[in-house]
Structure 1
Amino acid sequence: MNTLQHSVVHRLPQSYRWSAGLNGIAVEPLTIGGLQGEDDLIGLRLLSHNGEPAWNVMRHLQATLAEIQLVCSVLEWEGEPCLFVQRNDEHATTCRLKNYGVGIAETFSGQP
């Protein structure tokens, strides 16, 4: 059974960039109201797994994206594994993950 079919990711609310000199190793959040560039990153956090299983699933997601030559990194962010991809690859990333059965949790604002 494909473990990705039981996985759900959520896009982190901020934009990120690689920390100076640490491409692929460390990220830092962009300031609110800062200009967004082509090299900005988005982060995806796994909602469906915790602990070591979460790291394993994120590495599997990374490998799945590498199959279509999408560059990404799995890094610890706020104590959890997160997948960081270039902002301009966001649509290809979500499409690929959905094709593998990964659920993408969407943020929405509801009316009370």
Structure 2
Amino acid sequence: MNTLQLSVVHRLPQSYRWCAGLAGGSVEPLEISALAHDNDLIGLKLLSHDGELAWDIMHMLKASLVDIQVECSVVEWQGEPCLFVHRDDESATNCRLKNQGVAIAETFSATNPF
């Protein structure tokens, strides 16, 4: 079975930007109070694998996105490989990854309406 079909990613909760002079190499989180801009980044973290396999899978995800001309980078964030894409490309990214069999974990609140 394809390794990508066994993969689960989760969107990191913050928005990011490239560190000055390090586009594609290093990111920093944006302040919560900062307004969203078109050049902001979103990050995806792999939940299903870790270690060297996680790096390999993230590079496969990147290659899949590059095939549809989505600019992205795999960058270490808090000790783990994460895939960063422009905010404007989030929908295309999610669609492509889902079509490749990657599960995307969504955050939701479990509030009881009763």
Q: Sort the TM-score into its range (normalised by shorter chain).
A: over 0.9
Q: Show the counterpart of 2:41.
A: 41
1:32 & 1:92 partners in 2: Cα distance?
Answer: 24
Give the count of matched residue pairs.
112
Structure 1 ranges of 4+ moved more than 3 A = none
Q: Show the counterpart of 2:69.
A: 69
Identity %: 68
Q: Show the counterpart of 1:20.
A: 20
Q: Are positions 1:60 and 2:60 aligned together?
A: yes
Code of the residue aligned with 1:61 in structure 2: it is L
Q: Show the counterpart of 1:87.
A: 87
2:85 & 2:45 partners in 1: Cα distance?
Answer: 12
Aligned residue for 1:44, secondary structure, equals: strand
- Structure 2: which 5+ residue stretches go unaligned? none
1:77 & 1:97 partners in 2: Cα distance?
Answer: 20
Alpha-carbon offset, residue 36 of structure 1: 1.1
Q: Deviations over 1:28-62 (max 9, x none)?
A: 00001101100000000000001000000000000
Code of the residue aligned with 1:111 in structure 2: it is T
2:60 & 2:77 partners in 1: Cα distance?
Answer: 18
Aligned residue for 2:32, secondary structure, equals: coil
How high is the TM-score relative to the length of structure 2? 0.96
2:111 & 2:10 partners in 1: Cα distance?
Answer: 21
1:65 & 1:41 partners in 2: Cα distance?
Answer: 15
Aligned residue for 2:84, secondary structure, equals: strand
Alpha-carbon offset, residue 111 of structure 1: 1.6
- Structure 1: which 5+ residue stretches go unaligned? none
Alpha-carbon offset, residue 3 of structure 1: 0.8
Code of the residue aligned with 2:48 in structure 1: it is S
Q: Show the counterpart of 2:110.
A: 110
- CA RMSD in angstroms comes to 0.6
